[in-house]
Structure 1
Amino acid sequence: MLLQRRVPGAVVARLDDGEMVQLPEAQLPRFVADVEGAGAGPRWVWDDTTRWYPQLLAAGVRVQRCTDLRLVHRVLRRAPGVDQGLFAGPETTAWDELQPLSGGGASRAEEAPEGLFDLQPRALLLDVDAEHDRQQAALAAASPPGRLRLLTAAESAGALVAAEMTHAGLPWRADAHEALLAAELGPQPPAGQPPAVLAALLADARAALGAPSLNPDSPADLLRALRRVGLEPPDTRSGTLSQLAHPAVPLLLEHRRLSRLHAANGWRWLTEWVRDGRFRPDHLPGGVVSGRWAAQGGGALSVPAVLRPAVVADDGWRLVIADVAQLEPRVLAAVSGDVDLARAAAGGDLYQGLVDSGAVATRADAKLAVLGAMYGATAGSGGRMVEHLARRYPRAVEHLELAAAAGERGEVVSTWLGRGSPRPDGSWTQQAPDVPATDQELRERRSWGRFTRNFVVQGSAAEWAASWVALLREELWRLGDSGPVEQPVERRPHLVLFLHDEVLVHTPAELADEVAAAVRAAAERAGRLLYGEFPITFPLDVHVGRTWADADDDGSCARAPAEVSALTPAAVARAPRRTPPR
């Protein structure tokens, strides 16, 4: 079922038998609902999900499947197994440059859907039918086509998930947020003035350093102040400062932490991004070159732990919070075919499995070895641990080394399902084989090799996660199947946040246990879907509770409703605030 807008205010639909139907924009939700309700299982083909699905969701209409031509185009244009000549044409650049639409913060849910489509009229000129034909021809000729088809399907499903998460929003208690800010920063200050706690910390730090005009945000100024009291740190990074013994250091570190909280998630953020009890950022599937998701506005992928108590389920609902244990090392075992590494992961804790196998002495060493291998550690303790890992798990390490070597030669590498890495553009890529490279060119070459080394793992992990979320989305809809097809997504169990290897599901309380089981089942199915019978598992930590913070409660994850109802501004304000060590 192909949809296209050729003129503002009207939609053209091409049915499966080739019949063309034109209808007014306002009738689109009813048309889509009728087709979905007929049980035919259509796949809607459109230029970009952000230009179609928000309007349908606002009308209470859910789409089961789609092909997002913008996202698929991006995958195929970079895939090494695709003949790029099939995309040659006058519209190629326009499709390359097509961007998703942004909803603009908390006000998105209140915008008229028609207004969303006026932002990029250029999209009206694109031939959706012709692009779909090009993509299908490219997939049919790809080598091999099966994995790329799976990737494009997962990418399109992710676009539906992203739109549904923005539409439903992440439950957010503004009163709890304000109370947490007050506990950390003191009362809300007048506009243009710093919070009282920040002002006090800065005054104490300046007094301890004898620097009354110190600007702690200026590395040069801070270094000068530290050197005047006999300290010689090489830089002002938090890890470096934490090694210094001086009364000003804990004050500076606490000031830095709270300054970031105030700037990134303070009162202004709350006003801009939270409305009617929901936080609605724009989620961007495939927003990173590796295929990982990104988010636009509000810092959805970096909500600080201190604010997680503000993420509270609605009355009668629960949050199911699940994250995957050591996702990328497990994916490395699968894509490299290293059965021994998969066996080490079978016990649940892969790092402990490496210790038990005799590869390394401690769990800390195991983590250092795996991260060193994936990120290209060659010296120091990291390099030594990688050597131990290579002796015990040669296939996994060789997979990474081959990717790094290809990157250093300026070649494209690909993920398990066929997403290609970007091509480097440094001067070293034009280097003739018989011309010695400069030191700068050698550094750039090795840096790109580290990128491609990590790309093949991070990108493949993103594919597993996208498949997990796509499968989970369908399971959640079936769990709420007692309602009509047109029942709004947000009235059934639904995803509200996806953080690479962690998901949050908002569900009616009576379905929480079934949702937790569905989360685990979807992870298992994703593993089989991508890796067949290869013996790798993806264990999850799954928690059910009223708040996101419940997942941090050392096993006490099902907090009683009475406790959550006590999460008032006064109660949070009475809680002890962390103070800098003296």
Structure 2
Amino acid sequence: MESVVAVVADPVGSGGRWCALAADGGAAGPVQAVPDLAAAVARREAAERPRWVWAATDEIYPWLLERAAVRPGRCHDVKLVESLLLGMAGWHARPRSLGAAWARLHDLPEPADAPEPGADDQPVLFAADRHHLPPDTDPLAALIAVYADQRRRIAGSGHPDRTLLLCAAESAGALAAVEMGRDGLPWSAAVHDELLTGLLGARPAGGARPAVLGDLTRRIQQALGRPVNPDSPAQVLPAFARLGVPLRTTRSHELREVEHPAAALLLRYKELSRIHAAHGWAWREAWVRGGRFRPEYVVGGVVSGRWATRGGGALQIPRLLRGAVVADPGHRLVVADAGQLEPRVLAALSGDPGLARAASGGDLYAALALDAFAGDRPRAKIALLAAMYGQTSGEAGQLLAVMRRRFPTALALVEAAARTGEAGGVVRSRLGRTSPTPSAGRFLDADGAEPGAAEDPGDSSSPNLRAARSWGRFTRNFVIQASASDWALAMLAALRRRLAVIGPQPRLVLFQHDEVVVHVPADLAPAVEAAVTEAGEEARRLVFGATPVPFPLETHAVECYADAK
């Protein structure tokens, strides 16, 4: 039986209290006070490696790392687990703090969650009202009571083993997120400056546009025949319309369909402007310290289980700037990428034998092309993406009909999920992460858009029907994307555990959906690559069971991140 210890910090000073817990979550011994909590946690971690139960990893763990450099192997994050369990009950919008969970146990009004800290805020461990417990409530007693209740709810879920795995993986992800923010991604300011100068020209003074953006602005205005601000759709769209080019938006996917020369110029402007705003000189001054990019990850920041960040853009480092990510001397970056993850997830979830056969080789799209599309890989890719994202217009609709005939089980799964969403119902990931309903409030996807907001250009039905179909497209993909998150978090937890066995030097420094980067001494790179492979296989087995579908992680040990692609 694993050792489980609930722990809280004192509101002032460096001490705290802890209590060993029984299998049902209740206290298994006396409460003990420790004068130096960080040191005591470090000693107990070394002695018995318990699963630590605390209110929120992102509040207590940065302080423990700072004080004692202790890296716990396992934890149970009450706030994150509460969020998962609330979602499974259809309560996505309810508060998830320790205080809110305790209030629900006692039929009291639920306090709103505290605002998330801003990008410039320092970690505040001992804020007295952080958990919104009533003034006379013992935080440790409340923590134990809420944990015991969560254990009961996990046991009573439809698939308790899967729910427990999801909660453990989410909590492990919280540990990794804090560590990655502390360790940071190696970042060369000199290379970054060289890349920016090559792309944008010399750094301008006073917040002006860089020279290259200024030149593109003039060329766009010349092509459109009038002065416009390329950052203003309200000016750009009418300018295109006067030239007989109707556009609904200035989004890149629409501009790529336009043959007018102004469209190509605007696309280039948007790409470079985004780099300047999101990863330019000012960004480096704000986020790169001591040769490290130190983002603040938000575990479960997207409803599908994907992570977000509190600024910094760690999940969207432009390919043009990846040359600035350079390993320390004598070190390597082991970059591991789970290629074609979501199509493989669909194959494993559905159990479709034809799609599973296509996934068994190296290139799923190429195998799919040989099976159903006369060897045409681009058309096979369009067809599979249409199946996963619900695109029905144009060529995608025709190819979707082929998919439906050749891979009926896979198509039945996503189409059932779409119908559920259109009817206002919920769908679940492999481990039980649950989609919100359209009325449950606004939830942002990885790009900052509301799930289901994208429209099919070929859908000319009524607004209400379009809205239902839009949400159906969201739930269609949710079952795949959220299950991919299940696998990715299980893989991250398994890899983190294996890296600790290798030694203190390998450090996870980046995680973005289907990719991880480990900074490691060069002589340990082969061991890390083997650990990555083992972690991916463990995650496949834990999440999907006996599926024949492989989830290969392609690894590269490189000195520069750009060389891995």
- TM-score, normalising length: structure 2: 0.86
> Which residue in 2 is equivalent to 1:30?
39
Distance 1:272 1:522, change over 3 A: same
Within the candidate set 460, 463, 480, 1:440 is matched to: 463
Distance 1:226 1:395, change over 3 A: closer
1:340 partner SS: helix
**Following the alignment from structure 1 to structure 2, what is the Cα–Cα distance between the partners of residues 537 and 188?**
47
> Which residue in 1 is equivalent to 2:186?
171
**Following the alignment from structure 1 to structure 2, what is the Cα–Cα distance between the partners of residues 122 and 347?**
49
Within the candidate set 530, 555, 563, 1:517 is matched to: 530
The aligned amino acid for 2:16 is V
1:14 partner SS: strand
- Contact 2:49–2:72 at 8 Å: present in 1 too? no
The aligned amino acid for 1:498 is F
Moved more, 517-526 or 241-250: 241-250
Within the candidate set 501, 510, 515, 1:478 is matched to: 501
Asked whether 1:153 is paired with 2:168, we answer: yes
State the structure with bigger RCO (CA 8 A, min sep 6), 1 or 2: 1
**Following the alignment from structure 1 to structure 2, what is the Cα–Cα distance between the partners of residues 284 and 121?**
17
**Following the alignment from structure 2 to structure 1, what is the Cα–Cα distance between the partners of residues 470 and 479?**
15
Moved more, 407-416 or 132-141: 407-416
> Which residue in 2 is equivalent to 1:136?
151
- Contact 2:9–2:37 at 8 Å: present in 1 too? no
Within the candidate set 4, 8, 12, 2:8 is matched to: 4
2:29 partner SS: coil
**Following the alignment from structure 1 to structure 2, what is the Cα–Cα distance between the partners of residues 314 and 123?**
43
Asked whether 1:190 is paired with 2:205, we answer: yes
Q: How much identity, in percent, do the aligned residues show?
A: 47
> Which residue in 2 is equivalent to 1:492?
505
- Contact 1:359–1:389 at 8 Å: present in 2 too? no
- Contact 1:81–1:144 at 8 Å: present in 2 too? no
Gaps (5+ residues) in structure 2?
22-27, 95-100, 442-460
1:503 partner SS: strand
The aligned amino acid for 1:153 is A
- Contact 1:180–1:307 at 8 Å: present in 2 too? yes
**Following the alignment from structure 2 to structure 1, what is the Cα–Cα distance between the partners of residues 246 and 472?**
34
- Contact 2:370–2:376 at 8 Å: present in 1 too? no
> Which residue in 2 is equivalent to 1:541?
554
User: How far does the alpha carbon of each residue in 1:191-245 deviate from its partner, in whole angstroms, 9 at most, with x for none?
Assistant: 132112222222233344442x321122232234345556555543334444545
User: How far does the alpha carbon of each residue in 1:292-332 deviate from its partner, in whole angstroms, 9 at most, with x for none?
Assistant: 11111111111111110111111111101111121111111
The CA deviation at 1:248 is: 4.2
Within the candidate set 5, 10, 18, 2:29 is matched to: 18
Distance 1:233 1:453, change over 3 A: closer
- Contact 1:405–1:449 at 8 Å: present in 2 too? yes
> Which residue in 1 is equivalent to 2:452?
none
The aligned amino acid for 1:342 is A
**Following the alignment from structure 1 to structure 2, what is the Cα–Cα distance between the partners of residues 505 and 140?**
35
- Contact 1:44–1:67 at 8 Å: present in 2 too? yes
User: How far does the alpha carbon of each residue in 1:79-134 deviate from its partner, in whole angstroms, 9 at most, with x for none?
Assistant: 1599x9999434787587366655x35xx8xx5x6x44438534565621111011
1:18 partner SS: coil
**Following the alignment from structure 2 to structure 1, what is the Cα–Cα distance between the partners of residues 335 and 428?**
31
**Following the alignment from structure 1 to structure 2, what is the Cα–Cα distance between the partners of residues 409 and 241?**
33
Number of corresponding residues: 520
**Following the alignment from structure 2 to structure 1, what is the Cα–Cα distance between the partners of residues 133 and 10?**
5
The aligned amino acid for 1:296 is R
Please give the residue correspondences for 1:62-73 in structure 2 after superposition, counting only pairs within 5 Å. Answer: 62-73=71-82
Within the candidate set 80, 84, 87, 1:75 is matched to: 84
Distance 1:91 1:161, change over 3 A: farther
User: How far does the alpha carbon of each residue in 1:478-531 deviate from its partner, in whole angstroms, 9 at most, with x for none?
Assistant: 111xxxxxxxxxx51011111100111111111011111111111111111122
Within the candidate set 387, 406, 409, 2:420 is matched to: 406
> Which residue in 2 is equivalent to 1:181?
196
The CA deviation at 1:33 is: 0.9
- TM-score, normalising length: structure 1: 0.84
Distance 1:260 1:22, change over 3 A: same
> Which residue in 1 is equivalent to 2:449?
none
The aligned amino acid for 1:323 is D
The aligned amino acid for 2:17 is V
User: How far does the alpha carbon of each residue in 1:38-89 deviate from its partner, in whole angstroms, 9 at most, with x for none?
Assistant: 1x2200000000111111212311101000000100111121599x999943
Within the candidate set 439, 447, 468, 1:425 is matched to: 439
1:412 partner SS: coil
The aligned amino acid for 1:551 is A
1:52 partner SS: helix
- Contact 2:339–2:553 at 8 Å: present in 1 too? yes
Q: RMSD of the alignment, in Å?
A: 2.6
The aligned amino acid for 1:63 is P
